[in-house]
Amino acid sequence: MDRISVDTTVHFGQPCIAGTRIPVYCILELVQEGIPFDEIVRKYYPDITVEDVKACVRYATALVKTEEVHVAAP
C-alpha cells in the first residue's frame, strides 16, 4: 500500500494518494459512479495514474476485509 499514505497533517489524517492531497474517498466516489479509471485520471485528477486509482480500491478492499463487525444478538 505504498501508494496510499496517512498523515495527520494532511486532510486530518484521511488516507490520501501518496505525494498528493487527494483523499482516497474522493477517488472511490468516482469509482462508485461507474466512471472508468482512465477517465478519472484524464478528466478529474490528471496528476495521478490508473495505478493510483487501483490502489485506492485495494486500500478500501483491505479495510473492509479486516474490519470486525459486531452484530447484537436478537
Residue range 4-65, CATH number:
1.10.10.10
CB-based contact 2:12 (threshold 8 Å): no
Q: Where are the domains of the chain?
A: 4-65
Residue 74 has pLDDT above 90, yes or no: no
11: DSSP letter? G
The predicted-structure confidence for 2-34, as pLDDT tens digits, reads as follows: 999 999 999 999 999 999 999 999 999 999 999
Model pLDDT, residue 24: 98
Give pLDDT, residue 67: 85
Is residue 2 a contact partner of residue 17, using CB atoms and an 8 Å limit? no
CA R_g for the chain: 14
- Please write the tens of the pLDDT for every residue from 25-67: 999 999 999 999 999 999 999 999 999 999 999 999 999 999 8
